[in-house]
Amino acid sequence: MHEMSLCEGIRTVIEDQARSHDIKAVRRVRVEIGRFSGVEKSALEFAFDVVMRGSVAQGATLEMIDMPGRAMCYDCMHEVEIDDRLAPCPDCGGGKLMPVAGDELRIKDLEVI
Ligand SMILES: [Zn+2]
């Protein structure tokens, strides 16, 4: 499952942070999820609980923040927000869009004890 390996990545980051900042426990983890990341939220939440067992983030709350997709339009040279990777430019209707954001899944911050 894709979400499992994502959570393993999150756990690695958290454990590195915990070691270098002497963190005893993590209460909440906020992650930003891009619209095009393909992450299924319920699967991510489930995987998070499983993967964090035995780590400093065991029992932590996972808070997911939706990030819009963004693209550069090469017809009007605007950076625009798009809902769909194949959507036309909302400003000029052009089709030459290059996605610049929306694939990401990253940790925004941690609330620690
Ligand atoms: Zn445009």
Give the chain's domain count: 1
We report the CATH number of the domain holding residue 52 as: 3.30.2320.50
The predicted pLDDT at position 1 comes to 59
In the reported structure, the alpha carbon of residue 91 is separated from the centroid of ligand 1 by a whole-number distance in angstroms of 5
In the reported structure, the alpha carbon of residue 100 is separated from the centroid of ligand 1 by a whole-number distance in angstroms of 14
In the reported structure, the alpha carbon of residue 38 is separated from the centroid of ligand 1 by a whole-number distance in angstroms of 25
Q: Are 71 and 100 in contact (CB under 8 A)?
A: yes
Integer angstrom CA distances of residue 41 from 31, 46, 52: 11, 9, 16
Render pLDDT for 44-88 as a digit per residue (tens, 0 to 9).
Answer: 999 999 999 999 999 999 999 999 999 999 999 999 999 988 899
The pLDDT of residue 105 is above 90: yes
- CA geometry: angle 64, 32, 18, nearest 5 deg: 90
111 vs 57: CA distance, rounded Å: 10
Integer angstrom CA distances of residue 38 from 27, 111, 113: 26, 26, 32
Domain range for residue 62? 2-68+102-112
